C-alpha cells in the first residue's frame, strides 16, 4: 500500500537534546497507526513533526525529511496554513475554546474564510454527525462547549478537526483524561473514521493500541525500535526491547 | 512569662478585625460626609446650568462635560496603545532583556506623581505642540498617565490565558493574529476592562495633571482645542479659594456617584459578556 506519511531519517533536537534519533517510518493511509512507548520517549515530538507545531518551540532543529503524499512538508514552498488544515491535531486534554459548541466547530472554517452561514451550518452538522454528537447536541449548539462532559468535549475537538477538512488526524493520548467506557466510545469513533482519514494515535495504553490500530510503532529514547502491523507487534515482536515492554517487564 | 499561642491567635484575630472595621468605617464616613453635605445642593438646575460668580452660584454643567470628555479622550488613546503594547510584549516578543526593560520602565512610569505628568503635558502639548490649555492637551496627558496601568493589567490578563488555546488555534491553521483576536483577547477581556476602568477612575479624579494641561475655563467647550474644567478641578478651586463650600461638596458628591456608576456599569457589562462567552 502507498504510504500517506513518510518519515525519512528524521532526527529532532530540542536545543542540544536529541529527542528523535534517525526515525524511518511509512504511515499507511486510511488506517490507524499507534505509537507506543514509555513516557518521554518522543511520541509527542514525533507527532508534532507531522504538522510542524514543533517549530513553535524555540531552539528546535530538524534533520531528515517528512513527506506527506510524497511532498516534503519542510520545503520552503509549503504553505504552513494549508499543511495544518490537512493535518489536524487532537490533544491530550480536551481543549475546547470557551465558545459555543457551534463556534468551536466553525472556528477552523471561519479562520479559513468561510463566511456563508448555510455553508458553516452544513460543515458543523456534518462534523458533528461524523463524531456521533449531532443527535445529542443539535439542540444545544449555542451552549458553551465547556459545559459538556469531557468525552463530549474530546469528540468535539475531533469534530473541530474534521471541520477544517483534514485528511490526517493526529491524536496525542486523546483518552488519558477519560474513563474506560467513554474511552471505548472514542476508540469506536476512530475506527469508524479511518475509512476516510489517516489516523496516527499516541497512547501509553497498550490495550488501546492493540484494540484500535492497524500498525504500531514502539519507541524508546527517541528511537523507533520496531514498527509493524499491530497483530505482529503484539504476537511476535522481533526486538527484545519491544517484547519486554509488551509483556509488561518494562514501562 | 510565656504567651500561649492560642492567646496570640485570639489577639491577632481581634487586631485584624479592628483594622478591617476601621478601614470600612473611614470609607463609609467619607462617602457619608460628602453625600450629606453635597446632596442638598444637587438638583436638575445644578446639573444643567453653567456656574455664576466663579461657582458661588449656578450649576456645574461645563465641568460635567469636561469630566466626560477628558477621560474619554484618554481612554480612546490609551486603550489601543496599551493593549497593543501588551500584545506585542506577550505574543510577539520573546521574554528577554528588552521586555524586562520595558516592563521596568512601565512600572516606574506608574509610580510617577501625576503632577509630573502635568508638567510634561504642559511642556509637550500645551507649549511645544501648541495645543494650548485644551481638552486635547488634557486628554493626551491623562492618556500617558494611565497607559502604564493599562499595559500592566492587559499583560497580566493575556499571560493568564492558557497556552493550549493558542496551540489549538494555530494547529487548526489559524494565523497568529487570528489567534490573538479570536481567542486570546476575548478571553482576556475582563482583565483588560479592569485596567481600563482603573484608568477611567484615575483620570476622572485627577486634578494636578489636568490644571496644568486643560486649564480651568468655566465656559462650555466648543471644540477639542478649548480649555475646560473638570469636576475634580472645580471642587479643588471652589474649596481652596473658599468660593463656596456648599457647591464644592455638591460637586464632590456627583463625582463620587459618577465613579460608583462607572464601576457598576462596567461590572454589569463584563458579566453580560462573560455569560455570553463562557
Ligand atoms: N519543549 C521541550 N523542550 C525541551 N525538551 C523537550 C520539550 N518537549 C519534550 N522534550 C523532551 O523530549 C523528550 C520527548 O518528549 P515527548 O515527545 O513529549 O515524549 P512522550 O510524548 O513520548 O512522553 C523528553 O525527554 C522531553 O523531556
Ligand atoms: Mg506525550
What residues of chain A lie within 8 A of the CB of B175, using their CB?
Answer: 81, 111
User: Which one of the ligands is nearest to A46 CA?
Assistant: 1
CA-closest candidate to residue B150, choices B183, B191, B117, B210: B191
- Specify whether the backbone of A137 is left (phi greater than 0), alpha (psi in -120 to 50) or beta: alpha
For chain B, the structural domain boundaries read 44-277
pLDDT by residue (tens digit) across A124-179? 999 999 999 999 999 999 999 999 999 999 999 999 999 999 999 999 999 998 89
A56: nearest CA in chain B? B167
The DSSP element (H or E) to which B108 belongs, if any, is helix B97-111
* Residue A41 Cα: closest atom of ligand 1: 22
User: Which one of the ligands is nearest to A173 CA?
Assistant: 2
Q: How far apart are CA A127 and CA A103, in angstroms?
A: 12
pLDDT by residue (tens digit) across A197-243? 999 999 988 899 999 999 999 999 999 999 999 999 999 888 989 98
What is the separation, in whole angstroms, between the first and last Cα of chain A?
32
SS3 state at B51: strand
- Specify whether the backbone of B46 is left (phi greater than 0), alpha (psi in -120 to 50) or beta: alpha
Once rounded to an integer, what is the mean pLDDT over residues B26-43? 93
| Interchain contact, B170 vs A84, CB within 8 Å | yes
- A84 lies within 8 A of chain B by CB: yes
What residues of chain B lie within 8 A of the CB of A111, using their CB?
Answer: 169, 172-175, 178, 182
User: Is the pLDDT confidence value at B169 over 90?
Assistant: yes
C-beta of residue A243 within 8 angstroms of C-beta of residue A36 = no
User: Which one of the ligands is nearest to A59 CA?
Assistant: 1
**Residue-averaged pLDDT of chain A:** 93
Say which residue, A217 or A58, is predicted with more confidence. A217
| Interchain contact, B171 vs A93, CB within 8 Å | no
What is the ipTM metric for this complex? 0.88
User: Is the pLDDT confidence value at B232 over 70?
Assistant: yes
Q: What is the pLDDT of residue B8?
A: 92
Q: What is the pLDDT of residue A1?
A: 58
Q: What is the pLDDT of residue B101?
A: 92
Once rounded to an integer, what is the mean pLDDT over residues A9-22? 96
Quote the radius of gyration of chain B (alpha carbons, Å): 23
**Residue-averaged pLDDT of chain B:** 92
> What does the DSSP assignment read for B52-103?
EGGGTEE--HHHHHHHHHHHHHHHHHHHHHHHHHHHIIIIIS-SSHHHHHHH
Q: What is the pLDDT of residue B75?
A: 96
Q: What is the pLDDT of residue B194?
A: 86
Chain B interface test: which of A107, A113, A143, A146 (most B C-beta within 10 Å): A107
CA-closest candidate to residue A157, choices A200, A107, A112, A110: A107
Q: What is the pLDDT of residue A249?
A: 67
Mutate to test the pocket of ligand 1, among A13, A18, A45 (most ligand atoms within 8 A of CB): A45
Q: How far apart are CA B108 and CA A191, in angstroms?
A: 59
- pTM, two decimal places: 0.83
Q: How far apart are CA B201 and CA B192, in angstroms?
A: 14
pLDDT by residue (tens digit) across A80-117? 999 999 999 999 999 999 899 999 999 999 999 989 99
Q: How far apart are CA A124 and CA A156, in angstroms?
A: 10
Give the CA distances from residue A113 to residues A30, A101, A108, A119, A172, in Å, rounded to whole numbers and listed in that order.
28, 19, 9, 11, 28
Helix axes B61-87, B135-159, angle to 10 degrees: 40
Of B165, B172, B277, the CB nearest to A164: B172
Q: What is the pLDDT of residue B276?
A: 60
Quote the radius of gyration of chain A (alpha carbons, Å): 18
What residues of chain B lie within 8 A of the CB of A107, using their CB?
Answer: 169, 172, 174, 182
What residues of chain B lie within 8 A of the CB of A161, using their CB?
Answer: 172
| Interchain contact, A111 vs B187, CB within 8 Å | no
What residues of chain A lie within 8 A of the CB of B169, using their CB?
Answer: 97, 107, 111
Q: Is B44-277 a CATH 3.40.1190.20 domain?
A: no
Chain B interface test: which of A96, A99, A170 (most B C-beta within 10 Å): A99
> What does the DSSP assignment read for chain A?
--EEEEEEEEEEEETTEEEEEEEEEEEETTSEEEEE-STTSSHHHHHHHHTT-GGGSTTEEEEEEEEETTEETTSTT--HHHHHHHEEEE-SS----SSBHHHHHHHHHHHTT---HHHHHHHHHHHHHHTT-HHHHTT-TTSBGGGS-HHHHHHHHHHHHHHTT-SEEEEESTTTTS-HHHHHHHHHHHHHHTTT-EEEEE-S-HHHHHHH-SEEEEEETTEEEEEEEHHHHHHS-SSHHHHHHHTTS--
CA-closest candidate to residue B67, choices B276, B208, B258, B270: B258
Q: How far apart are CA A145 and CA A98, in angstroms?
A: 7
Give the binding-site residues of ligand 1, using a 6 Å CB cut-off. Answer: A 14, 17, 19, 37, 39-45, 57
CATH number belonging to domain A3-246: 3.40.50.300
CA-closest candidate to residue B145, choices B244, B213, B193, B97: B213
Q: What is the pLDDT of residue B108?
A: 92
A166: nearest CA in chain B? B172
From B123's Cα to the closest Cα of chain A, the distance in A is 45
Q: What is the pLDDT of residue B223?
A: 93
User: Is the pLDDT confidence value at B65 over 80?
Assistant: yes
From B88's Cα to the closest Cα of chain A, the distance in A is 17
User: Is the pLDDT confidence value at A5 over 90?
Assistant: yes
pLDDT by residue (tens digit) across B256-278? 999 888 888 888 877 877 766 55
Q: What is the pLDDT of residue B277?
A: 57
| Interchain contact, A111 vs B169, CB within 8 Å | yes
Q: How far apart are CA A153 and CA B168, in angstroms?
A: 14
Q: How far apart are CA B129 and CA B225, in angstroms?
A: 12
C-beta of residue B232 within 8 angstroms of C-beta of residue B210 = yes
User: Is the pLDDT confidence value at B189 over 60?
Assistant: yes
Q: How far apart are CA A193 and CA A207, in angstroms?
A: 19
User: Is the pLDDT confidence value at A251 over 60?
Assistant: no
Q: What are phi and psi of A106, to 5 degrees?
A: -80, -10
From A208's Cα to the closest Cα of chain B, the distance in A is 24
Compute, in degrees rounded to 10, the torsion defined by CA atoms B257, B258, B261, B265. Answer: 180
Amino acid at each position: 500500500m502507498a504510504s500517506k506519511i513518510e518519515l525519512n531519517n528524521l532526527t529532532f533536537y530540542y536545543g542540544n537534546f536529541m529527542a528523535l534519533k534517525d526515525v524511518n517510518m511509512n504511515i499507511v493511509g486510511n488506517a490507524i497507526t499507534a505509537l507506543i512507548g514509555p513516557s518521554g520517549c518522543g511520541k509527542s515530538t514525533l507527532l508534532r513533526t507531522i504538522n510542524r507545531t514543533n517549530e513553535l518551540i524555540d531552539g528546535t532543529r530538524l534533520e531528515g525529511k517528512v513527506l506527506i503524499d510524497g511532498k516534503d512538508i519542510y520545503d520552503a514552498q509549503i504553505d504552513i496554513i494549508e499543511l495544518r488544515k490537512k493535518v489536524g491535531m487532537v490533544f491530550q486534554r480536551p481543549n475546547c475554546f470557551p465558545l459555543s459548541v457551534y463556534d468551536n466547530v466553525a472556528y477552523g472554517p471561519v479562520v479559513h474564510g468561510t463566511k456563508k452561514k448555510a455553508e458553516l451550518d452544513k460543515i458543523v452538522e456534518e462534523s458533528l454527525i461524523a463524531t456521533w454528537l449531532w443527535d445529542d447536541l443539535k439542540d444545544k449548539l449555542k451552549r458553551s462547549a465547556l459545559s459538556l462532559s469531557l468525552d463530549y468535549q474530546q469528540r468535539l475537538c475531533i469534530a473541530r478537526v474534521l471541520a477544517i477538512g483534514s485528511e490526517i488526524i493526529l491524536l496525542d493520548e486523546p483518552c488519558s483524561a477519560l474513563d474506560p467506557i467513554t474511552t471505548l466510545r472514542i476508540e469506536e469513533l476512530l475506527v469508524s473514521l479511518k475509512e476516510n482519514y489517516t489516523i496516527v494515535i499516541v497512547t501509553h495504553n497498550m490495550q488501546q493500541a492493540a484494540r484500535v490500530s492497524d500498525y504500531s510503532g514502539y519507541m524508546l529514547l527517541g528511537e523507533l525500535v520496531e514498527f509493524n502491523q499491530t497483530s505482529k507487534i503484539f504476537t511476535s515482536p522481533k526486538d527484545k526491547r519491544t517484547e519486554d515492554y509488551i509483556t509488561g517487564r518494562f514501562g | 512569662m510565656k504567651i500561649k499561642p492560642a492567646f496570640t491567635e485570639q489577639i491577632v484575630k481581634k487586631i485584624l478585625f479592628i483594622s478591617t472595621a476601621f478601614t470600612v468605617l473611614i470609607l463609609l464616613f467619607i462617602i457619608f460626609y460628602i453625600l450629606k453635605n453635597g446632596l442638598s445642593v444637587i438638583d436638575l438646575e445644578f446639573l444643567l446650568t453653567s456656574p455664576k460668580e466663579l461657582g458661588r452660584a449656578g450649576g456645574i454643567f461645563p465641568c460635567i462635560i469636561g469630566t466626560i470628555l477628558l477621560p474619554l479622550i484618554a481612554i480612546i488613546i490609551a486603550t489601543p496603545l496599551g493593549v497593543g503594547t501588551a500584545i506585542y510584549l506577550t505574543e510577539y516578543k520573546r521574554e528577554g532583556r528588552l521586555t524586562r526593560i520595558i516592563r521596568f520602565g512601565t512600572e516606574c512610569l506608574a509610580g510617577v506623581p501625576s503632577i509630573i505628568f502635568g508638567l510634561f503635558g504642559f511642556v509637550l502639548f500645551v507649549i511645544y505642540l501648541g495645543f494650548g490649555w485644551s481638552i486635547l492637551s488634557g486628554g493626551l496627558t491623562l492618556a500617558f498617565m494611565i497607559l502604564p496601568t493599562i499595559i500592566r493589567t492587559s499583560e497580566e490578563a493575556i499571560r493568564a490565558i492558557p497556552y493550549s488555546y493558542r496551540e489549538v488555534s494555530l494547529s487548526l491553521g489559524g494565523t497568529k493574529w487570528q489567534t490573538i483576536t479570536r481567542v486570546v483577547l476575548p478571553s482576556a477581556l475582563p482583565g483588560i476592562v479592569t485596567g481600563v476602568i482603573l484608568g477611567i477612575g484615575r483620570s476622572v479624579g485627577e486634578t494636578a495633571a489636568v490644571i496644568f494641561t486643560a486649564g480651568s475655563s468655566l465656559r462650555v467647550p466648543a471644540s477639542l482645542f478649548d480649555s475646560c474644567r473638570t469636576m475634580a478641578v472645580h471642587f479643588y478651586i471652589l474649596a481652596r479659594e473658599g468660593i463656596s463650600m456648599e457647591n464644592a461638596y455638591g460637586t464632590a458628591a456627583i463625582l463620587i456617584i459618577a465613579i460608583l456608576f462607572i464601576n457598576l456599569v462596567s461590572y454589569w457589562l463584563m458579566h453580560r459578556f462573560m455569560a455570553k462567552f463562557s
